[in-house]
Amino acid sequence: MPTASTSLKRYAWLSVAAALATMGLKTLAWWLTGSVGLLSDALESLVNLAAALIALWMLHLAALPPDKAHPYGLSKAEYFSAGIEGGLIILAAAGILASALPRLVAPQPIEMPGWGMAISLCATGINLAAALVLIRAGKANRSITLEADGKHLMTDVWTSVGVVAGVALVLATGWLILDPLVALAVAVHIIWAGVALMRRSVSGLLDAAIPQADHDEIIKLFAEYSRRYGVSFHALRTRRAASRSFISFHFLVPDAWTVAQAHRLCEEIEERIRELIDGSTIDTHIEPISDPASYDDQGLDR
């Protein structure tokens, strides 16, 4: 039986294979046509390959078990992958701008446009299939690395569609300047995608809370147990680390309860939370409900 980490790495290898295939096809399309728009598409495929290799590496790190130096594991490595990928996208955009701006001054004719568009569309089909698989796998496995890689490939799909449309417009109108203009639009589009990925990476590295929907489910669970057993909860804190969620709270029980009784109910509550939120690590602090000192330690810094 393959492990979950092995399965995720297989998806990353799919991304590597798709990047190699599309990079070769788009480079051929640019070589045949001389279109700077198609060149911009080929350059982004080079970024896709680099991003896929980085994703593979970061998935390997994230799957390593906790150790003495990293007792909470290395799951945050996935955020580095998304951040680096965003930076690479912006670098690719800079290369596109450098290629397209001179063509605005001196537009060049496009050679063999039919073959160029056909080859580019073939590469786009490969990217579309890989993107859909990666996004679905990323959401199912709560992997920001796979999801970011899939969304990056999806931006590449829309980029390619735009470039082919630009070549078609040149053929239809004879306006050669449309080719570099489309390339510039592509550059702006992928800069936007790169910045979005970097922002998401930074948010994760800053210990962002779990999604609001998951937080609300925990609050509902607390309300249910408060009604049933006369217990209380406070100091709920959460943070997300890629596929893992870390949850801590204080569990206030009646003074007359034994340690064993409080522990049994606490175990039940933690199991319910784990059923609600996959990959959750839970820390609970049990306190007597009527002791004033139980309410003095709710802040992060007591």
Task: Check: CB of residue 286 under 8 Å from CB of residue 251.
Answer: yes
Q: What letter does residue 190 receive in the DSSP assignment? A: H
Are 182 and 260 in the same domain?
no
In a domain, 52, yes or no: yes
Q: What percent of the chain has pLDDT over 90?
A: 23
Dump pLDDT digits (tens) for 161-181.
777 777 777 777 777 777 677
The count of domains in the chain is 2
The CATH number that applies at residue 165 is 1.20.1510.10
In a domain, 302, yes or no: no
Task: Check: CB of residue 162 under 8 Å from CB of residue 182.
Answer: yes
In a domain, 301, yes or no: no
Given 170, 205, 240, the domain boundary residue is: 205
Listed in sequence order, the residues at least 6 apart from 266 whose beta carbon sits closer than 8 Å to its beta carbon are: 251, 284, 286
Concatenating the DSSP letter of every residue in 70-131 gives -TT-STTHHHHHHHHHHHHHHHHHHHHHHHHHHHHHS--PPSSHHHHHHHHHHHHHHHHHHH
Mean pLDDT of 88-117: 68
**What distance in Å separates the CA atoms of residue 56 and residue 44, rounded to the nearest whole number?**
18
pLDDT band at 4 (very low <50, low <70, confident <90, very high): very low
Are 166 and 225 in the same domain?
no
Are 62 and 84 in the same domain?
yes
Are 260 and 199 in the same domain?
no
pLDDT band at 12 (very low <50, low <70, confident <90, very high): confident
Domain that holds residue 219: 212-295
pLDDT band at 236 (very low <50, low <70, confident <90, very high): very high
Q: What letter does residue 146 receive in the DSSP assignment? A: H
Concatenating the DSSP letter of every residue in 192-233 gives HHHHHHHHHHHHHHTTPPPPHHHHHHHHHHHHHHHHHHS-EE
Are 23 and 155 in the same domain?
yes
- Per the structure block, which two tokens stand in for 117? 């568009």
Of the given ranges (31-35, 108-112, 241-245, 287-291), which has the lowest mean pLDDT?
A: 108-112
Task: Evaluate if residue 41 carries a pLDDT over 50.
Answer: yes
The CATH number that applies at residue 281 is 3.30.70.1350
Q: What is the pLDDT of residue 46?
A: 76
**What distance in Å separates the CA atoms of residue 20 and residue 152, rounded to the nearest whole number?**
15
Dump pLDDT digits (tens) for 62-87.
878 888 888 888 888 878 877 877 78
Mean pLDDT of 201-211: 82
Task: Evaluate if residue 248 carries a pLDDT over 90.
Answer: yes
Are 236 and 144 in the same domain?
no
Dump pLDDT digits (tens) for 42-56.
776 777 787 788 888
Q: What is the pLDDT of residue 189?
A: 76
Task: Evaluate if residue 247 carries a pLDDT over 90.
Answer: yes
Task: Check: CB of residue 179 under 8 Å from CB of residue 41.
Answer: no
Q: What is the pLDDT of residue 80?
A: 81
Task: Evaluate if residue 3 carries a pLDDT over 60.
Answer: no
Are 200 and 222 in the same domain?
no
Q: What is the pLDDT of residue 143?
A: 79
For 124: left if phi > 0, alpha if psi spans -120 to 50, otherwise beta; the answer is: alpha
